[in-house]
Every structure is written in structure tokens, then in C-alpha cells.
Structure 1
């Protein structure tokens, strides 16, 4: 549930993978989100699968 003033990714906003740059018109269910240094980043299913251990270890993406 969102309250007034909170921002969420809407279906109308294209989303870009922070690792490889792949874009999608709406946020696919298979993509992963991560909050790093106060920013919400999204990773496509391929990048998430390739870096699963680093994501689970909560390493920032420069360490991948």
C-alpha cells in the first residue's frame, strides 16, 4: 500500500537494468530491485541470475 507522496515504479515508466542497460516498458515480475546508497536500482532476470550470490550477500554492484 502506498501513501500520498511515496513514489513507485508505474507501468507507464520504462525501466532500465542497472547492469546491462536492457529496457522494458513495464517492470517485469522476473526483475530484481535493490536499494543501494539510497537509490532503487533494477536488474533484469539475466543479470540477476548471473550475480545471484553477490545480490544475496548484499554486495553493491561495483563489487560484482
Structure 2
């Protein structure tokens, strides 16, 4: 399963099918896929939807992230 920007259920968490396979994350900004679990990626909840950002996108936009600006403002 791949999590894309905007994938969400009503609780704000990503839905997983009935499988034990871990979801594959994709950066919401640049589309870079995460090959393994990435503890250094950034997760942001915008309008109730989780967005994941790779290290490079998070570093490039850290001030906007810290000010809690939605990614549309980057």
C-alpha cells in the first residue's frame, strides 16, 4: 500500500487494507518514495489530513513548518 497526499479516513490516520504489509510513504512535496521506515521524515496534519515530507523537503521548508503554515504556502 502506498500513502499519497490526501489519503485519510475520518480520524485523520491513513487507512490500511487487511494486510500486515507496512505502508510505503511518499513525500507530499516532491513525491520521493520511502524505501524503509523513515524516522527522520516529517509528518504534518493539514485540514485533518496527514502529509509526510522527506528530509530534503522538510529541511528546505523548516521555518514554514515550524510556523505551521500549510504546504500550499511553501
Runs of at least 5 residues in structure 2 that lack an aligned partner in the other structure: 1-12
**Equivalent residue pairs, number:** 58
Q: Which runs of 4+ in 1 moved over 4 A?
A: 7-11
Do residues 25 (structure 1) and 66 (structure 2) align? no
Do residues 53 (structure 1) and 63 (structure 2) align? yes
* CA RMSD in angstroms, aligned pairs only: 2.1
Query: Normalising by structure 2, what TM-score?
Result: 0.69
Query: Normalising by structure 1, what TM-score?
Result: 0.79
Runs of at least 5 residues in structure 1 that lack an aligned partner in the other structure: 1-6
Higher relative contact order (CA 8 A, sep 6+): 2
| Alpha-carbon distance, 1:27 to partner | 3.0
